[in-house]
């Protein structure tokens, strides 16, 4: 993938070298493969959304902040796709997995494919995700799967910055001007319904949780609730009541947005197969 | 200036090699905390820094370029002010 800035080749090798592929039964291996892809898809799609801001940010400083976060997520996605390709063992590369799968094969939650909207919408989408991502990676570091644990440890440093960035912005926009507050309220109305899917375990996730390969979401949800409530309060924004939540992305049932993202993202590789950076 | 525009901040970064914070440029931000985040995003992307200072540009007072002659020229012919006549002991680092 076209990302030599965040992930020089030696970093990937280092992760591979430190953590050789574990012995799994074919069934467990399939589960870990499916789940690793789900994580990779999630980071890739959100990375792409943030990259769409490149050159369009409200000010230069935030243009760069969003593309920096985008590159962090792209680096994480690369590590995950590469691990998935190894697990699959069919000779596919990270590029095949990212660029040659159709929308139904993508397992990212619906939240990350939602359109950028205005800056406030993007900040809120990022805040919902970053808070999940941060507390999730903290737990995933303890995974019995050494490679996932190593990837989590590496990405956590970046995620710690992301959660700070988006939390500070939620506070400043919520407790900002009348206009910025109105926009943040609209963003919450629009996006809150996609937050539940992050914590909804699919059969794959449940099986992996029982095997202690991935963390249970209960405690992560509690940390998420706490942080979100704290930030919204400081932002003078109302915490939404429990409500009906959208889901489906983790099963490959996506909104129409994902198709457009993939046609952008995959165009080059599908038109000129086998191109390399 | 448009009143809705964020104030300008000057950014100083201390690099791994250096002991001092060096001026690297400026950024816009609504407050000090955001200024530090922005400075991080704009000026430390290539592992440049280990520490960041920001100061609102309006707090910096500068000498007047028109007075440069009277300010700086008198030092030109006072070469004896340079401590070039001393040998720096090898133990002294960072001179």
ipTM: 0.72
B13-27 average pLDDT score: 90
The whole-number pLDDT of residue A11 equals 55
Q: Give the containing element (helix H, strand E) for B9.
A: strand B8-15
Residues of chain A in Cβ contact (below 8 Å) with chain B: 59-62, 64-65, 68, 161, 164-165, 168, 172
Whether the CB-CB separation of A151 and A179 falls below 8 Å is answered with no
Residue B88 pLDDT grade (very low, low, confident, very high; cuts 50, 70, 90): confident
Average pLDDT, chain A: 93
Instruction: Please give the pLDDT value at position A190.
Output: 97
Residues of B within 8 A of A63 (CB-CB) are none
User: How many CA atoms lie within 13 Å of A183's alpha carbon, on the beta-carbon side?
Assistant: 20
Work out the pLDDT band at A3, boundaries 50, 70, 90.
very low
Separation of alpha carbons B31 and B38, rounded Å: 10
Position A17 pLDDT exceeds 70: no
Q: Has residue A14 been placed in a domain? A: no
For residues B61-77, average pLDDT: 84
B8-81: CATH topology is Ubiquitin-like (UB roll) (3.10.20)
Kindly tell me if the per-residue pLDDT of A13 is higher than 80. Answer: no
Of B27, B37, B42, which has the smallest distance from its Cβ to A165's Cβ?
Answer: B37
| Domain assignment of residue A62, given as a range | 25-238+249-271
The domain that holds A88 is classified in CATH as 1.20.1260.10
Q: Kindly state whether residue A73 falls inside one of the protein's structural domains.
A: yes
Does A257 have pLDDT greater than 50? yes
Number of domains making up chain A: 1
> Across the interface, do B29 and A164 touch by the CB < 8 Å criterion?
no
Which positions in chain B touch A62 (Cβ < 8 Å)?
Answer: 38
Tell me the chain B residues in contact with residue A65 when contact means C-beta distances shorter than 8 Å: 37-38, 41
In terms of Cα–Cα distance, which of A130, A129, A105 is closest to A191? Answer: A129
Rounded to a whole number of angstroms, the distance from the CA of A273 to the nearest CA of chain B is: 32
Q: Looking at chain B, which residue has its C-alpha nearest residue A173?
A: B30
Assess if residue A266 is contained within a domain. Answer: yes
Q: What is the share, in percent, of chain A residues with pLDDT greater than 70?
A: 92
Q: pLDDT averaged over chain B?
A: 86
pLDDT tens by residue, A109-126: 999 999 999 999 999 999
Q: How far apart are CA B95 and CA A87, in angstroms?
A: 55
A49-93 per-position pLDDT tens digit: 999 999 999 889 999 999 999 999 999 999 999 999 999 999 999
- Nearest CB neighbour to A64, from listed B28, B31, B42: B42
In a domain, A140, yes or no: yes
Mean of the pLDDT values across residues A30-40? 97
What's the pLDDT tens digit per position in A124-167? 999 999 999 999 999 999 999 999 999 999 999 999 999 999 99
Average the pLDDT over B42-64 and give the result. 90
Whether B37 and A168 lie within 8 Å, measured CB to CB: yes
Residue A9 has pLDDT above 70, yes or no: no
Closest CA to A211 of A15, A16, A28, A59: A28
Average pLDDT over residues B28-35: 93
Q: Which of A59, A61, A130 to mutate to test the interface with B (most CBs of B within 10 A)?
A: A61
pLDDT for the residue numbered A56:
94
The SS3 call for residue B45 is coil
Mean pLDDT (whole number) for A221-250: 96
Is the pLDDT at A5 greater than 50? The verdict is no
- Banded pLDDT at A187 (limits 50, 70, 90): very high
Residue B69, pLDDT score:
82
Average of per-residue pLDDT across B89-95: 80
């Amino acid at each position: 993938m076209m990302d030599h800035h965040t992930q020089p080749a030696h970093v990937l090798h280092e992760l591979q070298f430190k953590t050789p592929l574990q012995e799994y039964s074919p069934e467990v291996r399939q589960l870990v493969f499916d789940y690793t892809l789900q994580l990779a898809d999630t980071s890739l799609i959100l990375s792409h959304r943030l990259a769409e801001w490149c050159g369009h940010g409200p000010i230069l400083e935030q243009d760069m902040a969003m593309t920096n976060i985008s590159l962090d997520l792209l680096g994480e996605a690369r590590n995950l796709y590469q691990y998935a390709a190894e697990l699959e063992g069919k000779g596919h590369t990270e590029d095949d997995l990212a660029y040659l799968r159709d929308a139904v094969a993508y397992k990212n939650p619906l939240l990350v494919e939602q359109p950028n909207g205005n800056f406030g919408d993007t900040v809120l989408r990022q805040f919902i995700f970053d808070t999940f991502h941060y507390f999730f990676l903290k737990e995933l570091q303890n995974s019995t799967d050494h490679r996932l644990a190593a990837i989590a440890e590496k990405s956590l440093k970046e995620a710690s910055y992301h959660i700070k960035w988006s939390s500070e912005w939620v506070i400043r926009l919520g407790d900002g001007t009348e206009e910025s507050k109105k926009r943040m309220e609209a963003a919450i109305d629009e996006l809150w319904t996609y937050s539940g899917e992050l914590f909804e375990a699919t059969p794959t996730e449940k099986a992996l949780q029982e095997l202690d390969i991935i963390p249970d979401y209960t405690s992560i949800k509690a940390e998420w609730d706490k942080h979100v409530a704290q930030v919204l309060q400081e932002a003078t924004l109302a915490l939404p009541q429990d409500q009906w939540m959208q889901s489906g992305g983790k099963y490959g049932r996506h909104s129409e947005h994902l198709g457009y993202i993939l046609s952008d993202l995959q165009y080059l590789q599908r038109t000129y197969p086998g191109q390399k950076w | 200036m448009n009143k809705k525009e964020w104030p300008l901040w000057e950014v100083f970064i201390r690099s791994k090699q250096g002991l001092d914070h060096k001026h690297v440029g400026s950024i816009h931000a609504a407050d000090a905390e955001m200024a530090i985040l922005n400075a991080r995003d704009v000026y430390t992307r290539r592992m440049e820094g280990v520490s960041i200072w920001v100061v609102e540009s309006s707090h910096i007072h500068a000498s007047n370029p028109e007075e440069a002659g009277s300010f700086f020229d008198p030092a030109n012919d006072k070469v004896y002010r340079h401590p070039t006549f001393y040998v720096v002991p090898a133990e002294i680092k960072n001179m």
